[in-house]
Structure 1
């Protein structure tokens, strides 16, 4: 073979190797950027793991791992309801899931009253949580309970239930949360009574969540709540917090699952 042809062949081979190496490097960087994340999604009062199904489907299609447990005493675990089921029980539900599944760098999301649950659970599993998200949720301090922070209407109903010695707080209609009309009948059919002890028990510790590296507050602007408006304003002014506003009813995971999934991936 002539020397020129040999040199041309050698250069072509080296060029091909360089292209392959570059593509491999890009692929590796791409995989690092889209590495699977682990999400633990915690529902609020009267709901269950079922309410996250649409968000779970979106995240799992993208290759992520998702856990959406129902808390003790509600939904598919309603058969476990007793007077002893309280906030501590629910915080343990979440903490033990993370412990027993050996989950790391978790994106922990709490909707509505689950702000209490994830705040209390973080005291046990804070180091395993890389990102904590309060979704149209309460962000309680020590001594707070759901019954103390609730809006006036719901608070009165809860106080009356406590005064009667009721076991549970009965569900309110989905329309009260401004769930989109198409899904209201489905949400109403799925909601179950909520253990009253879980809304009465006060938070005993609330500092671990503040140490989590990524903190997010998402406000559903289609749901009227002075408490959540005040919380959003507070978090906007707090260093280390990201805030989002979504044009949705209170059940963002039902009304805007794709948008919510995008936000969760952004803050993961």
Structure 2
């Protein structure tokens, strides 16, 4: 049986893996679903001091203090930007990496820049402002997603969408604008990437994954970026042969 550590997306928390984690645990796997600092049940820790590297440290500490080895690291969306740093710092504990429509970061660039939301100088300026103790603490991603779903409902049942949106929280802005210490090229393990066509990570992140030589498969248009909640069986079908 496998040991899996799941990395969640923006505005989420370990809670978002509930259905997938419950299924895998029922199949005998050891599953960890940590929440990044400033998100979810750790939202009380949100601050301007929470850089992207703090989130890497969150996961490295889980691997270290839980004494996890031979780990399958599974990264969704924002979590994809964290995975390379984890491998760079604790690669002896990781067997392989799986991306679910995740961000493929660039070394030294901010996540916001990597996904095309801002220019280098804008990210650097905002990072410096936050480091000085000024500027907004959070990104407002939770409200952006709720407002977006009003105009374009997610490809899932109304009940699942309501559950997902109700649990969203803000996330530290500094995590989006501080430099990423290790980009995708830092992963020296097998990487399998499931990308969702026609959604937020297509095509830039998918193309970047291919350029790194990762095994990239795509799905859609019947599912969307939030398929880990809307269509968890699709995620499980992709994941099981890799365990």
TM-score when normalising by structure 2: 0.83
Per the TM alignment, residue 209 of structure 1 is displaced from its structure 2 partner at its CA by 4.0
CA contact (8 A) 2:104 2:183 kept: no
The farther-off stretch of 68-77 and 171-180 is 171-180
What number of residue pairs does the alignment pair up?
Answer: 224
- The structure-2 alpha-carbon separation of the partners of 1:78 and 1:39, relative to structure 1 and needing over 3 Å to count, comes to same
Larger radius of gyration: 1
- Give the equivalent residue in structure 2 for 1:217: 193
CA distance in 2, matches of 1:134, 1:177: 24
- The structure with more helix, counted as a fraction of residues: 1
Secondary structure, aligned partner of 2:203: helix
Bigger relative contact order, structure 1 or 2, given CA contacts below 8 A and separation 6+?
2
- Give the equivalent residue in structure 1 for 2:44: 79
Correspondent of 2:108 among 139, 143, 160:
143
CA distance in 2, matches of 1:208, 1:123: 10
- Give the equivalent residue in structure 2 for 1:242: 215
- Give the equivalent residue in structure 1 for 2:205: 231
Per the TM alignment, residue 145 of structure 1 is displaced from its structure 2 partner at its CA by 1.1
- Give the equivalent residue in structure 2 for 1:9: none
Q: Which residues of structure 2 form unaligned runs of 5+? A: none
Correspondent of 1:178 among 133, 154, 164:
154
CA distance in 2, matches of 1:147, 1:238: 20
Per the TM alignment, residue 228 of structure 1 is displaced from its structure 2 partner at its CA by 3.2
1:45 aligns with 2:10: yes
- The structure-2 alpha-carbon separation of the partners of 1:224 and 1:206, relative to structure 1 and needing over 3 Å to count, comes to closer
CA distance in 2, matches of 1:165, 1:238: 35
Per the TM alignment, residue 205 of structure 1 is displaced from its structure 2 partner at its CA by 2.5
- Give the equivalent residue in structure 2 for 1:165: 135
What does the per-residue CA deviation read over 1:85-142, in whole Å, with 9 as the maximum and x for residues that have no partner?
1211110000110011111111101111111111112111112111111211111121
CA distance in 1, matches of 2:184, 2:219: 27
Per the TM alignment, residue 230 of structure 1 is displaced from its structure 2 partner at its CA by 3.1
CA distance in 1, matches of 2:105, 2:54: 17
Per the TM alignment, residue 82 of structure 1 is displaced from its structure 2 partner at its CA by 2.0
What does the per-residue CA deviation read over 1:183-240, in whole Å, with 9 as the maximum and x for residues that have no partner?
222111111011001101111233774311x21111122x523x5323323434654x
CA contact (8 A) 1:218 1:246 kept: yes
CA distance in 2, matches of 1:73, 1:177: 26
Per the TM alignment, residue 258 of structure 1 is displaced from its structure 2 partner at its CA by 1.6
CA contact (8 A) 2:88 2:187 kept: no
Secondary structure, aligned partner of 1:103: coil
- Give the equivalent residue in structure 1 for 2:235: 260
Secondary structure, aligned partner of 1:109: strand
- Give the equivalent residue in structure 2 for 1:203: 180
- Give the equivalent residue in structure 2 for 1:3: none
Runs of 4+ with >6 A deviation: none
CA contact (8 A) 2:5 2:32 kept: yes
Secondary structure, aligned partner of 1:193: coil
Per the TM alignment, residue 181 of structure 1 is displaced from its structure 2 partner at its CA by 4.5
